[in-house]
Structures are given as structure tokens and as C-alpha cells.
Structure 1
Amino acid sequence: MISPGVAGRLAGRTAFITGAGGALGAAIAEAFAREGARALTLSDIRVEAVGDLAARLRRGGVEVTTPELDVTDGDAFDRAVRSAVEAFDGLDLLVNNAGAVSPNARIHNVTTDDFDRCVRINLTGTFHGVRAAARVMRDRGGSVINIASVAGLTAWPYAAPYGVAKAGIIHLTRVAALEYAKERIRINCVCPGAFPSAIHDGVPDGAMDVIEARHPFGLGKPQDLTGAVTYLASDEAAWTTGQAIVVDGGYSLP
């Protein structure tokens, strides 16, 4: 692990990551630390899920806070981001990573509650994060990275709520990038293919087998995505905003 202050692409930066207790959130946090980030806010609705990760990062010299956060609560999101700014004297990066899948079902079998829950966590939660970041980054600029999905770019049967929510994230990213360009806030998203994670625990094995077969490189790993996220967080992406970067093992190829 690169210690804070050692030259890296994110040397001295501060970052806020949602869903940090999951596989991808943890991988992003560790990648940011390797690149020299000095302070990380690791938020999750299950605060106990980030305990071991936070301890490892602190041993490496990174400052870490671990607020409990339900991303569907916009006021709570604002408070958590303001607390991070106060704790670390600013915020450079925010990663909207928290998410949830929808039941594996055709549309006529999807309940309104299931649809609303998926959209609320994925899309509304991301909106809350973009809004909270914009409120504190307008004077100094920054980078917001939203985790979308190739499901927002292609049609996934039996996953309408999830696809709709992820497509919304992609469009929100583009609109927000235009709105905040003059304030030097870069807003981009990463569109992963499928990789094993806790949010897929409810997906039937047969469905995951079908999804895996659609990926020429097979299912990915969280670490396969961190390069794109780190790039977008870094100065290498200083001229990149409003983009949806696809990292999907070939899933979306025709």
C-alpha cells in the first residue's frame, strides 16, 4: 500500500465512498490508498461491514472515518459529506457505489415496492450523492464517479427496475457534468459488467450462468474495475467529464 504523501496519482486527496462495505467499494478504497489518498470516508448502511477495511487502511497511514449512511436519505447524505469536509479540510472525490439488484422477474411479476426500492437505492441514492458533492465542491472543483452498469446501456430481461435505474444514472451523470463544468467538477460513470458480489446473492444460479456466458472474458472481479475508477479520480482525466466508461469483459459487444 502506498502511504499518504508518497507520490501517486491521488497523492494527498480526500475521498468519500458509498457502499464501502461491499466488494467493489472495498477494492476502490484500497486502490485509492495505494495511489496516495490521504483520507477516506467509508460509508455503508451496515457500518460494521467496513470495520476490517478501515483498520487495514489506518495501519497503512490513511485517515479513515466510517459513517453509517442510508443513501436514500438525502439529508443524511448531506450531513455525512459535510462531516467529511470538516474532518479532512475538504473533499476531492466522491464515489457513488452503493447499489442493489432487483428480483429476477418479468415485468408483470415485479411489484411496485420492488421497483421503487431498486430505483430509490441506485438512482435516487446517486442523485443524493451528486447533489451533496456539488454543494461542497463548487468553490474548489472535484471529481464524482458514479457506478452504473452495462444494464443501463443494454437490455437485460428479467431486470427491468435495475436497468432503468442504471440508465438513469448514466443520464444523470451527463446532465450533471454539463451543469457543473464551469465549476470544474468532473462527473463521470463506470459501467461494469457482472462480477460476483453480495448484491447478487439473490440471483438464481441459472441466471448467473446465463449472464456469465454472455461475457467473452467471463465474470469479472472488483479489481478489474478499479483502474477505470482511479483514472477518473486522477488528474489524468482532467479533460474527461460526462462519460460512461464501459468495463464489462466484452459483454456489450454486438
Structure 2
Amino acid sequence: VVTPDTFILYKSPWSISRDPITESKPFSSSMHWYVVSGRQYLIQMKIFSGRPDPHEIYITETDDIKLYGDDSDYWKIVSLPDDLSSEYGWRNSRILKAISPGSGELTATLTYFNGHQDSKEVFKVVQEIMVCEKVQFTVNSEDDSPNIFLPWTPAVYQEMELIVTGGCAKSSSDYKWFTSDMSILSVSAYGIIQAKRPGIATVKVLSTFDSQNFDEVIVEVSIPSSLL
């Protein structure tokens, strides 16, 4: 009789087209899962047996597997659409719809026979979930443009601090910053951009808790018209 040794929950981003985002690696059970309000995720419950080379045990009709946590104010748990249940496994897969910021727990249980038909055991795993707002730039533009314009003059390194919200951040260290072209624009760990030369570059900021939660803004470094 093959008995369960490990019970793991997996989370993958789920697109509006009802397909998992294949380029995203599933996140297994950990201390916290960070999800984004307004997005959907595929939750899969998997059982493994055997060490040091574990292999997956496929869940059958005799196994009673359940996922609790659908009474949360911050997310909803729904079944897979009928046309996808056979592909991903309707017994061990659910869709989590993140609704609003907050935290709570998902609890998964597996009740199985331990080799004796009259004796059952329960395997349990608890996963903490944090629902965050989407990471977003706050751009104050007079012409409502989504881009940022930064003036440049020779030997003067114009700077600007970018404002960003979301991602369950409590401090500036909860974000990571990137620029598409360091020769045009640099960005510090605190979101301060500095013009290097005229050109266009993209600044990306992401949550350190969730690399799928990010925002981008185009920054145009140009010579002021008064100097032309």
C-alpha cells in the first residue's frame, strides 16, 4: 500500500482566458503566498510518497480531499470550469479569486485509508495568504500623459523621486527597481531616477514579495525647448 508522505499546495497565475500562465513557475506551499487583488490563481493539491526520491500519488475516488477557506472576505474559491476539469483534475484543483486586500488561511485536508479498510487517517496542510493591491506608479502629469518627462542639460544630472503604491509594501525596501537603459536613466533602490543623456527608457518596479506584481512607466529624457 502506497501511503502519503507529503501534502503540498501549488499556486499559479490564472489568466482571464481561463488558462494558466505557462511561463510562470508554480509556487509551492510556503510561509506566505502573496496574491494580487483582482487576479485569479489556479490552486492544485498534490500528494507525494517516498523519500529521498518522492513521486506523486494520484488522487482517486476513494480519497476524500477538501479545500477550506472559501468563507474569506478577501478571496473566493470556485471549482474549475467543466471543460478544464479533466485536464487539471477537478478533485484536486480550484480557482482562487482575490477580491480585496487582507490576509487569511487556506486549509487542505486529505482523508485516506492507511492500509486497513476500517481505518482512516487525515493529512492536513495550512497555507497563509496575503492579498495585496496591484503595484502602481503615481504619475502627476499636467497633460494626463502616462509617461514621465525629465529635462536634461549638459553636466546637470536632473533627478526625480518616483512614487509607487501597492504590493503590501511597508517600506521602500519592499520594492525592486530596474531601468531598461542605464546610459539614459539610472534608478536607485529608493526609486530616485537620474537623467544621464537624452533618450527614452522604461522603469520597472516590482514587489519583493511577488515578482508577478509590478508596474512600468516610460521616462523620456529630453533637452528643454528653451535650450534648443
Q: Is this a same-fold pair by TM over 0.5?
A: no
TM range (shorter): under 0.3
- Structure exhibiting the larger radius of gyration computed from Cα positions: 2
TM-score, normalization by structure 2: 0.25
TM-score, normalization by structure 1: 0.23
